[in-house]
């Protein structure tokens, strides 16, 4: 158990809908990272927040947004969903603001868009 929690575990929704994925980092970790894993694209970095502020951006679509709250939990919002958004979404956390060290991954949310 990494100490990172993600909810829900599974999410099934329809095209055009909007969903919110939630992540609680390990106790004491200030950075939260979001990743998308699909068969064709592999594991892609989406975005990083550090202590409430956006720190780094990766291949995140404009339809996706994220935020980190004062209690350090984070939410990833996916809107106008398309079939191709079906994937595993992982949250990871680390103590510091730089991504160079070990990251601790949550169990993931499996999103299925029908």
Residue 71 structure tokens: 């209690």
CB atoms within 10 A of CB 30: 18
Spatial contact of 56 and 39, defined as CB atoms under 8 Å apart: no
Q: Of 21, 17, 18, 19, nearest to 7 (Cα)?
A: 21
Nearer to another protein, 45 or 79 (CB): 45
Closer Cβ to another protein, 44 or 67, answer by number? 44
3-class state of residue 75 by DSSP: strand
Which residues sit at the interface with another protein, rule CB under 8 A? 2, 4, 33, 35, 42-43, 45, 48, 55-58, 88, 90, 92, 98-108, 110
For another protein, the closer of residues 4 and 81 by Cβ is 4
Which residues, in sequence order, are CB contacts of 24 under 8 Å at separation 6+?
Answer: 4, 5, 6, 72, 73
């Amino acid at each position: 158990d990494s100490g990172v929690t993600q909810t829900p575990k599974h999410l099934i929704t329809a095209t055009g809908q909007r969903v919110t994925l939630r992540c609680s980092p390990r106790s004491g970790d200030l950075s939260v990272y979001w990743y998308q894993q699909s068969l064709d694209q592999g594991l892609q970095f989406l975005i990083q927040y550090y202590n409430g502020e956006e720190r780094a951006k990766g291949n995140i679509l404009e339809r996706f947004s994220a935020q980190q709250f004062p209690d350090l939990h984070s939410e990833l919002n996916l809107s106008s969903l398309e079939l191709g958004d079906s994937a595993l979404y992982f949250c990871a956390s680390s103590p510091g603001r730089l991504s160079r060290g070990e990251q601790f991954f949550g169990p993931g949310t499996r999103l299925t868009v029908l």
